[in-house]
Chain A
Amino acid sequence: MSVARQGDTQHAQLAAIRRLRGPAVPVADAASTDGGYAGLVTRTVAFSIDALIVNGAAALVGVTVGLGLSIMHLPSEADAVIAAVLGGLWIVWTVGYFAFFWSSTGQTPGDRVMRIVVRDVHERGPLKPRRAILRFVAVCLGAIPLLAGLLMMLWDERRRCFHDRTARTVVVYGPGEP
């Protein structure tokens, strides 16, 4: 009787652990989590590549629009409005870029080059779009106090930055990495 109760208890415990851990990890994801947490330099390089892509595309569009507008004779007040609109578009583009990749594959192009993946701590998959946006906002906030929010990963056991803690994410080396 007591043995049966002990078995039931174990089953219940295992079921609870499974529920808390979430669904089973796919093979590829499991492999990707074996490489360790991505470090500061790798993440900085990946972010630099992304920044280059985002700002390069924005600069290209800006120059094209600027050249187009220079043909027209617009009043000086219009310049300020256009600049504000373009600035707003740049913010939307930047947030959208990171939020899209973090919430779809968990890898921005820069992350893909450096073979690192952003993972949800609990669900072990890509983030939800809202969490991805939150993560990006936290990146900006963490960078304000002399990058302290980013450098804190050096003393975190799972190499988490401020935005990782805020959005409950970790960044791990992806598949194929030792």
Chain B
Amino acid sequence: MERDARRALTSNAERALIAGLDAVVTRMLEEDVIDHVLERAETVGVAQRIADRILDDGIAEQIADRAFSGPELERILASAFRSALPEELIAQLLASEAVWMLVDEIARSPSVTEAIAHQGNGFFEQVAAGARDRSRRADARVQRIAKRLRPLGPRSGEDGKPHLGGPASGGGPA
């Protein structure tokens, strides 16, 4: 009997407390108390202090570490890629004139044009160097064959080395 009376009393007290809190919150909302509190907090710089504290104490790093090491970020990214967001983002980027101006600016920048030209020249030079090597080897081969075909046999000084002009080298017109 006593236990039932105590339970009923507790229940009534809880209800009264909740109703009181409800009334307080309702009154706060009606009288823009929260707005006043937030304005006050902004004036004092509470948000800045909180942000400073989070950054100074390394809480931000801990949050970032946790986010990057956990599977949550992967799930969020996977779900973002599955959604229409990437297509929408790309479509908006392509429609933006600023992006094309940026691309144009990059393409016209001296360093980029120089890099492209350098790459083109490098490729051409590589091809030409290969052709030169092969032709030099072919020169030597053809020369050897020609020497073999020669009825009198090779003469001295047929090494293909230059000795330009002058009486000492035996040069001059044939």
Chain A residues engaging chain B, CB cutoff 8 angstroms? 17, 20-22, 33-42, 45, 113-115, 119, 121-124, 154-160, 165, 168, 170, 172-173, 177
A-B pairs with the 9 shortest C-beta distances? A39-B139, A154-B146, A41-B138, A165-B174, A42-B135, A21-B166, A36-B160, A122-B165, A168-B173
Bin the interface of chain B by size.
Answer: 20 to 34
Q: Which residues of A contact B75 (CB under 8 A)?
A: none
Q: How far is the CA of A81 from the CA of B157 in the complex (A)?
A: 53
Q: How far is the CB of A35 from chain B (nearest CB, A)?
A: 8
Q: How far is the CB of B21 from chain A (nearest CB, A)?
A: 90
Q: How far is the CA of A170 from the CA of B164 in the complex (A)?
A: 8
Residue-wise interface mask of B (121-159) relative to A, using a CB-CB cutoff of 8 A (1 in contact, 0 not): 000000010011001101110110010001000010111
Q: How far is the CA of A114 from the CA of B139 in the complex (A)?
A: 12
Closest to B125 in A: A113
Q: How far is the CB of A48 from chain B (nearest CB, A)?
A: 11
Q: Which residues of B contact A39 (CB under 8 A)?
A: 135-136, 138-140, 142-143, 160
Q: How far is the CB of A85 from chain B (nearest CB, A)?
A: 36
Determine which of B128, B132, B143, B165 lies in contact with A22 in the assembled complex, contact meaning CB atoms within 8 Å: B165
15 residue pairs of the A-B complex, CB under 8 angstroms, read: A21-B165, A35-B162, A39-B143, A39-B160, A40-B143, A41-B135, A113-B128, A121-B164, A121-B173, A122-B166, A123-B165, A158-B163, A168-B173, A170-B164, A173-B136
Determine which of A20, A113, A122, A157 lies in contact with B155 in the assembled complex, contact meaning CB atoms within 8 Å: A157
Closest to B159 in A: A36
Q: Which residues of B contact A121 (CB under 8 A)?
A: 164-165, 171-173
Q: Which residues of A contact B167 (CB under 8 A)?
A: 17, 20
Q: Which residues of B contact A38 (CB under 8 A)?
A: 139
Q: Which residues of B contact A158 (CB under 8 A)?
A: 162-163, 171
Determine which of A20, A22, A37 lies in contact with B162 in the assembled complex, contact meaning CB atoms within 8 Å: A37
Q: How far is the CA of A42 from the CA of B142 in the complex (A)?
A: 11
Q: Which residues of B contact A20 (CB under 8 A)?
A: 166-167
